[in-house]
Amino acid sequence: MSKEVVKEKSMVLQKEMLGKHFIELSRTHETGKKVVYTFVPGNLSELILAFGMLPVYPEINALQSGMRKKSGSFIREAEKMGHSEDVCTYVKCDIGMMLNGNIGPTGEKLPPPDLLLLSYTGCFTFMKWFESLERLYPGVPVAMLHTPYQENGEMTEEMTNYMVEQLKQEVIPKMEMVSGNKYDESKLAGILENSAKAEDLIVKIFSTTKNRPSPIDAYFAGVYYIGPINSGFRGTPEAVTYYEALYEEILERVRLGLGPITPEGEMEEERFRLVVEGPPNWTSFREFWKLFYDMGAVVVASSYTKVGGMHDLGFRHDPAQPLASLGKYCMNCYTNLNLPQRIDLLAKYITEYHADGFLVNSIKSCNSFSAGQLLMMRQLEERLGIPVSFIESDLVDPRYFSYSNIKNRLDSFFQMLDQRKIIKGQMEETTA
C-alpha cells in the first residue's frame, strides 16, 4: 500500500495561489477581465498583468490533466479529429480538454481566450498549436512575437531591437485593443521589479543542491518550485512572498543536514547525484519519481526547470529597460539555446553540482527537447568521463510510459554508478 503523499509547506502555499487564479478565471464573465492564452517559454506574464488581463497556459493545463489521469481520453479525442500519433501530446491533450468542456485543473470551467499570444521560442509546434486554437476560437485576435534563435550562441543588439519593435507594433496594440487599457510603462516597470526579486530567489533556491546532502530534488520537486514563476505569478508580490518562504524552508533543511522530501517522506540517504535532461513524464509522475528515491538518487540540476528562463546565467528582468528586458528574456529560454550552448550548460551543472551521472529522458512527441539529446549525451561522456544513460517516455500520453523498461534501464545505470563508487573508494584506500 502506498503512503499518503507528504506535502511541503511551500507546495500547500502554491496550491492556494493556483487555486485562487483558476477561480478568478472562472469568474471572468462576472468581472469582465480579459483572458490571454499563451505559453510558458518566453511568456510575457508581466505585460499581461500590466494590462489587467489573466493568462492561461495550455501546456500547464495538459500536464495537470496528465497528473490527474485524464490526458489519455483527451488525446484519443484529438486523434479522432485527425491529429497524428506523432503530434505533441500536450497539443492533443489541450484540444481534447477543450472538446470536453474546457474544465481546468481545479474543476472550474476555463473561459475562452480574448487574445491568443504566441511568443515563439524554439518550438515550431507552438505555431501549429495556435493555428488549431485559432480554428477552435474563430474571430479571436492572434499576436505573434517571433523570437530569434541563438544560432551563434549570442544575443545581438539587432536581435533585441527586433523584439522591441514587435512588442511595440504587434503585441501591445492588440493588448490595448482587447483590454481597453493603454500601455503604461511605469506600471510594467513596477511589475518587473518583483520579477527580478523572484528570479534572485529561484536562483538561490536551486543553488542549494550544491550541498551534501542536497535539501531538494531539482527535477521532481523542482517542477513544483518553478510553478509560480512560470504560470502567471512572476511579477506579483505573491510570488516574491512565496519564494521567500520557500527559500527559508530550504535553508532550514540545509542547516539540519536533511535531504529532499519525497512523496513517501524524507530521503534517508543520498547515494547518487544526477543531472537530468528533458521533461518528466506526467501521467505516472509519482511512480517515475519513486524509481529514483528508492535508490537514493537525487537530481541536483535539470534542464527542464530552466524552460521558463535561464536566470542562473545572470538574466534578470530590468525595470529600467522594460521592453528590451522582455525581449531578452524570451531569447534566454532553454529551448532557444543552440546545441553547443545546451551542452556547455549541462557540463557546467555536472561539474558545479558534483553530479555522479547524467541522464536523458527522451520524450517521444517533443522534438524541441529530444533533438540532439544523443549528441549531448555522448559529448558530455567524452568531455567529462561521466556515466550517462538514456530512457524514453512521453509527456502526457500514458501509452508511452513503460514502467518495466524504464526500471530496467535505471537499475543498470544505478548499478554502474554504484560500481564506480566502489572502485573510486578502493583507489582512495590504496593511495592513502
Q: Which is it for strands 272-277 and 265-266: parallel, antiparallel or unpaired?
A: unpaired
Instruction: Render pLDDT for 340-366 as a digit per residue (tens, 0 to 9).
Output: 999 999 999 999 999 999 999 999 888
pLDDT band at residue 6, thresholds of 50, 70 and 90?
low
SS3 assignment, position 358: strand
Q: Which element (helix H / strand E) includes 54?
A: strand 54-56
Cβ neighbours for 383, distance < 8 A, ≥ 6 positions apart = 347
Q: What is the pLDDT of residue 1?
A: 46
Whether residue 210 is contained in a domain is answered as no
Burial class (CB in 10 A: 0-12, 13-18, 19+), 152: exposed
- 363: closest CA among 59, 132, 151? 59
Mean pLDDT on 94-106: 88
In a domain, 308, yes or no: no
Average pLDDT score over the chain: 91
Average the pLDDT over 77-98 and give the result.
Answer: 90
Residue 329 lies in a domain: no
Q: Which three cell numbers stand for residue 313?
A: 546565467
| Model confidence at 11: pLDDT above 80 | no
Q: 137 lies in a domain?
A: yes
What sign results for the dihedral spanned by CA atoms 272, 273, 279, 285?
Answer: positive
| Torsional sign, CA 248, 249, 252, 253 | negative
Mean pLDDT of 285-306: 96
Residue 26 lies in a domain: yes
Residue 197 pLDDT more than 60? Answer: yes
146 inside domain: yes
Backbone phi, psi, residue 119, to 5°: -100, 85
CA distance 246 to 206: 11
Average pLDDT of the segment spanning 232-260:
95
In which residue are the cell numbers 497539443 written?
91
Domain residue limits at 145: 9-181
Closest C-alpha among 208, 142, 147 to residue 170: 142
202-237: per-residue pLDDT in tens? 999 999 999 999 999 999 999 999 999 988 899 999
State which H helix or E strand residue 194 sits in. Answer: helix 185-207
| Rounded (10°) angle between helices 157-166 and 322-331 | 110
pLDDT in tens, 44-66: 999 999 999 999 999 899 999 99
- 394-420 tens-digit pLDDT: 999 999 999 999 999 999 999 999 998
User: Coil, strand or helix: which one is 401?
Assistant: coil
* 7: confidence class by pLDDT, cuts 50, 70, 90: low
Say yes or no to pLDDT of 180 above 90: yes
* Amino acid sitting at position 113: P
Per-residue model confidence (pLDDT) at position 8: 64
Distance between CA atoms of residues 19 and 228, nearest Å? 12
Q: pLDDT class for 368, splitting at 50, 70, 90?
A: confident
What's the grid cell of residue 361?
529522458
Residue 240: predicted pLDDT: 95
Interacting residues of 398 by C-beta distance below 8 A, sequence separation 6+: 69, 71, 72, 283, 284
Model confidence at 187, pLDDT cuts 50, 70, 90, reads very high
Inside any domain, residue 38: yes
Under a CB-based contact definition with an 8 Å cutoff, are residues 137 and 112 in contact? yes
Number of independent structural domains in the chain: 1
Mean pLDDT of 27-37: 95
Task: Collect all residues with Cβ–Cβ distance below 8 Å to 58 and sequence separation of at least 6.
Answer: 37, 39, 90, 94, 129, 133
Peptide bond into 213 cis (omega under 30): yes
β-sheet bridge partners, residue 146: 120
Q: What is the CATH number of the domain that holds 28?
A: 3.40.50.11890
For a pLDDT cut of 70, what percent of the chain falls above it? 96
Residue 368 lies in a domain: no
DSSP track, 290-349: HHHHTTTEEEEEESGGGTT--GGGT----TTSHHHHHHHHHHTSGGGB-HHHHHHHHHHH
pTM of the model as a whole = 0.93
What are the pLDDT digits (tens) for 303-353?
A: 999 988 889 999 999 999 999 999 999 999 888 888 999 999 999 999 999
What pLDDT, on the 0 to 100 scale, is given for residue 27?
93
Nearest 5°: the CA angle 422, 427, 430 is: 125
